[in-house]
Chain A
């Protein structure tokens, strides 16, 4: 079981800020495919992953990164701080 968090328009499209997900996904990309298969709102949020960023346990990561040992995955658009 991992915590999956969504921020900004990803959160709005999916309609919730976080959820617990039971998954056997090996990589982030596998998890994205599992989520997309769930419902159209996930499909819409993950339609173009080049427009998204991912963090694993609060560190930026790549979509091909392994999920083994990861407790928290977050998906969000490119950041606009400062």
Chain B
């Protein structure tokens, strides 16, 4: 298992190259990458604030739940903080399991929980100034399916 909260970019290819390989109990690897999107056409940057200490702890807890529920063989979660440009990678999740259904479901579960239970806050920077991104009701609702 790997959890990293970092300002630096990550190398997605390097992270996935050996992930889940070289062992007999893995038949499926799923990965998700989050990218900074610009919905308004005027965003200059996305700033991510986090709660050092609690962030790592909250993510580790979510990962433990996923590992137990889907009997995962391996998990990687990397989440960046700081100022990110449009088109940059924000975060990634990778899951390794015996079967693909478990790997897909666990990746979705991790994403749903990271969205509203990991202490990150997004702020958009644009020509008119800055604004905090509000949490969406649908993100909270997404937790109910688990």
Residues of A within 8 Å of B118, CB to CB, are 79, 81-82
Q: How many A-B residue pairs have CB under 8 A?
A: 70
Are A81 and B79 CB-contacts (below 8 A) given A8-B121, A8-B123? yes
Q: Give the interface size class of chain B.
A: 20 to 34
Number of interface residues, chain A, beta carbon within 8 A: 16
A80 in contact with B133 (CB, 8 Å) = yes
Cβ contacts under 8 Å, B34 to chain A? 82
Contact with B along A70-82 (1 / 0, CB 8 A): 0000101111111
Most buried by B among A58, A76, A82: A82
Binding site for A on B (CB under 8 A): 34, 49, 51, 53-54, 57-58, 79, 90-91, 111, 114-123, 132-135, 139-140
